[in-house]
Amino acid sequence: MAITKGRCTNAAGSAIAVLDVALLANTNWSIYDASAGTNAKTYCCSGVVTFYVWVSDNQADYFNVRIFQTWDSGTHVGSGWNTESLSFAKHQPVYTVHVSDLRFIWITTSIGGYVTNWVAYCGEIKRLIETNPYCLVVGANSYPTNYSPLHNEGYYVSWKLGRSDAGTANCGAAPVGQRAASPYRVWEDYNKDRRFFGETRVYYLDSAYYYIGSLDGVIIMFACPVEYTNGNTIVINGIEYIVYKDETNSIDSARTLLVRND
């Protein structure tokens, strides 16, 4: 597990340069195909299952991310179950990359004005059924806006699984407890000082009652507790988490992310 922090430009190739360092700080990750396109590479993660992450970084302000079951480094083509290509923002100058044995979390942060944490997820989830290879990408479904994917599910954002139990590729997912239609919506009741802490569970978007696993090291809280400030750490059951708020929205709708301090 590793955290990499720094500053980068919004230019083509800048995110690839960051990922080359950040991902390889964890021994589960490697560069599998360094010639996967112009300013594009494919990374391999040997987690519970092996999967491949294709990253295309040939434009300013954002890069595209896609997961494949297999990848041919000779033909530079992926196959098997996969997700569609989703966009990760790089238009803000400060970055943090959390890398675990299963996934990476990409965070960019603005300077001045609102503190905007733009947070995306790529990799495995902690699966309820270990034999099912659930790999997830959470990103923007078009040019990245100010809506952070993990903070604002549903607004210009997509949650895509590589496959369903039935083998359908690129199926939709959603976080349990954070979506209005979820049967297990979790509210933090601050007036009664009751809060639910737990890694956010994930379900099939077309089957709201089918819980399949949880995000690795991520707790999504619906509201912003005023005592939680950006960058602070919170210890829950002996595990340290870093607070990332989305302050582009009002206190009633903004969400707080707690990301395990890897």
Rounded average pLDDT over 134-145: 82
Contact yes or no for 199/126 (Cβ under 8 A): yes
The 10s digit of each residue's pLDDT in 107-127 is: 998 754 454 788 999 999 988
> Does the pLDDT value for residue 146 go beyond 50?
yes
> Does the pLDDT value for residue 252 go beyond 60?
no
Coil, helix or strand at residue 23: helix
Of all residues in the chain, the percent with pLDDT exceeding 90 is: 44
Q: pTM for this one?
A: 0.89
pLDDT value at position 169?
Answer: 86
Q: Half-sphere exposure (CA, 13 Å, Cβ side) for 216?
A: 23
As a residue count, the chain comes to: 262
Contact yes or no for 136/160 (Cβ under 8 A): yes
H or E segment and range at residue 81 = strand 77-82
Whole-angstrom distance, CA of residue 112 vs CA of residue 54:
33
pLDDT value at position 177?
Answer: 58
Q: How confident is the model at residue 80 (pLDDT cuts 50, 70, 90)?
A: very high
Which tokens sit at 9? 């430009």
Whole-angstrom distance, CA of residue 26 vs CA of residue 148:
25
More confident residue, 247 or 232: 232
* Burial (Cβ within 10 Å: 0-12, 13-18, ≥19) of residue 135: buried
The amino acid at residue 114 is: Y
Q: Taking the domains of the chain in order of start, what are their residue ranges? A: 2-260
H or E segment and range at residue 16 = helix 14-22
